[in-house]
Structure 1
């Protein structure tokens, strides 16, 4: 027989039960504050001495002695990986009303269909498996790319869809002992932080005057990549105050490749 409790006690118990299911593990560590970093998703190479944080693709190995962030594409399909999403219980690739694929033309990537709870669960299950692989490989955190894919969906997806999937990603990352970073989408930075993201990885926040939006949501834990020298100069002159900033070549090539660029303030 269940014992009865007062209304305040029952409410407190309910809140505790809810929080028990959503709290991050105690070993989740966010990135060090105001730390230098390197963005190596195009291929790993030995990090510079000033880079306490290294971001690498999920298929790469973390670098010993650094805080390592694992890159995964959680809202779009990497080129050549479309079958991963077609082999799921449901086709998780987004199509328009005529059945044509919806594509991010800048990177030639199919958008994922996160328009329903069932599809979001399917996406989170696949990406969650990648997150587990990141944790087992020794990464400390994960960044999930293309949070802003709804802006390229021709109205088929909404920011609410993106945030609903983000909450699933946050829960899974924390369950695996990983911190998780918001990637771009300055317009929803406050809501993303409220959803549980621990830091932000931004592209060209100085160029587009967005850095202050991110630093307000994630003080001391904003990692910004600029791709033009004039934007690095602007960032270093104060446009990215409160963020850690680097200049990278747009293809984020390893240091052994012609065209590789990395510079800091």
Structure 2
């Protein structure tokens, strides 16, 4: 499910990360001699639909769709595969065993907003074990024909002091390397302070919730140029974001529960 904005401590990037790749014609081309095959990035400023709650037939004109890894991609479109990579889905804690984050008293630590248990990525060994499970989902995304992956909750380190920013970077780099090996692009979900750390994270584009509301869209374009997809959940900020960024970025208004047409709460508009 989408995660509403939490107040984040701002970490200003003082030096832009040196990139070891270039974007050529929508393809991410690595300069490394031993690089994995180039991956295709989402088309810039395309009409987007966020369907991670439930898959449904996209409206006419939609070019990019994000769906849960349990769903199938939309035929003929650019498809992003959503995985909850840093936290356990509610009720799925037993699937993770000793990979759940625990405090000094041995109690599992939960995200206070979404009641999801944090995954323990504090050591290299734990990161490898968690990545093995998440990468199995990424394999499923590739096998189904998705074009990219969206690992959620990169910003979990901002909601517990037991996980560090460096832990998060090291973990998402494992996912990025695996996604690239599978021919998938990989998006940075939220976490604007990491947008200029691409050499450390390996991430290719951004999926930014409420960056217009929180005046953060420029933080994402600093690291990803126009390869930024924006989801707003309030009409006022959608209008403002479209006015400022609609000519450059993909911007969509969705209901916060990302429901399907026919639901009483369904909302979907694009610039």
The reply on whether 1:98 has 2:92 as its aligned counterpart is: no
The reply on whether 1:70 has 2:81 as its aligned counterpart is: yes
Residue 85 of structure 1 aligns with which residue? Answer: 96
Residue 174 of structure 1 aligns with which residue? Answer: 180
Mapped to 2, the partners of 1:122 and 1:239 lie a distance apart of: 39
> Would the aligned equivalents of 1:42 and 1:253 in 2 still touch at CA under 8 Å?
yes
Deviations 1:201-258 (A, max 9, x none): 0100000110001112112210010001111011112166632111100000011222
User: Displacement of 1:19 after TM fit?
Assistant: 4.2
The reply on whether 1:115 has 2:126 as its aligned counterpart is: no
Residue 55 of structure 1 aligns with which residue? Answer: 66
The reply on whether 1:208 has 2:219 as its aligned counterpart is: no
Give the 3-state SS of the residue equivalent to 1:167 in structure 2.
helix
> Would the aligned equivalents of 1:220 and 1:242 in 2 still touch at CA under 8 Å?
yes
The reply on whether 1:156 has 2:167 as its aligned counterpart is: no
User: Displacement of 1:195 after TM fit?
Assistant: 2.6
CA RMSD of aligned residues (A): 1.6
The reply on whether 1:183 has 2:194 as its aligned counterpart is: no
Q: Aligned pair count? A: 241
Residue 253 of structure 2 aligns with which residue? Answer: 247
Mapped to 2, the partners of 1:149 and 1:68 lie a distance apart of: 25
Where structure 1 has 5 or more consecutive residues not aligned to the other structure, the ranges are 1-17
Of residues 115, 126, 133, the one that matches 2:140 is 133
Deviations 1:9-31 (A, max 9, x none): xxxxxxxxx9456x2323x2111
Deviations 1:148-202 (A, max 9, x none): 001111x111100000001101100001111100000001111146532111001
Mapped to 2, the partners of 1:239 and 1:53 lie a distance apart of: 17
Q: What TM-score, normalized to structure 2?
A: 0.85
The within-5 A match list for 1:230-245 is 230-238=236-244, 242-245=248-251
Q: What TM-score, normalized to structure 1?
A: 0.87
Mapped to 1, the partners of 2:115 and 2:207 lie a distance apart of: 21
Mapped to 1, the partners of 2:87 and 2:33 lie a distance apart of: 31
Between Structure 1 and Structure 2, the one with more helix by share is 1
Give the 3-state SS of the residue equivalent to 1:150 in structure 2.
helix
- Closer, same or farther: CA 33–239 of 1 in aligned 2, 3 Å: closer
Give the 3-state SS of the residue equivalent to 2:49 in structure 1.
strand
